Amino acid sequence: MTISHNTQFSGYASVSGGSAEATLITTNDKSLFSYIERFHFSVYDAADGEGGVLELLDENGTVLWRTNVDGIKDVPLDFGEYGMKVGKISSIHALVTGANTQAKIWIGITGHLEVD
């Protein structure tokens, strides 16, 4: 999904595998600040063994959020209407690594862009 100036954004993806990546949002303007309002993930098929990790990353590989995916869980995170400021970025990705077997995860994100 592509978004423009001073607007809400949302994106979702389903990822599976011991190592998988999905792009959740892409913006047109890197001069605006991104704020995550809500992030929701659901592990509906857990990774086998230990070491499975889900990371929310910007395009530079900076980790915005990290959690294990070794158990079935449903986690909604709400950062309020002002959101969690993540900086001037052009994309947000979800990455699953370290899982011995295929973890299956649904991820959703909403937020907004604004001039700071």
Q: What are phi and psi of 34, to 5 degrees?
A: -100, 135
**Which structural domain, as residue segments, surrounds residue 86?**
2-114
State the total domains in the chain.
1
DSSP category for residue 47 = P
Global confidence as pTM: 0.80
Count CB-CB contacts under 10 A for residue 54.
Answer: 24
In tens digits, the chain (116 residues) has pLDDT values of: 444 446 889 999 988 776 788 889 888 777 888 899 999 999 888 877 777 888 999 888 899 889 888 888 999 999 998 899 888 888 899 988 877 667 788 999 999 988 86
> The domain that contains 50 carries what CATH number?
2.60.120
- Whether 15 and 53 have beta carbons less than 8 Å apart is answered as no
> Measured between alpha carbons, how far is 14 from 21 in angstroms, rounded to an integer?
9
Q: Cα–Cα distance between 23 and 67 in angstroms, integer? A: 18
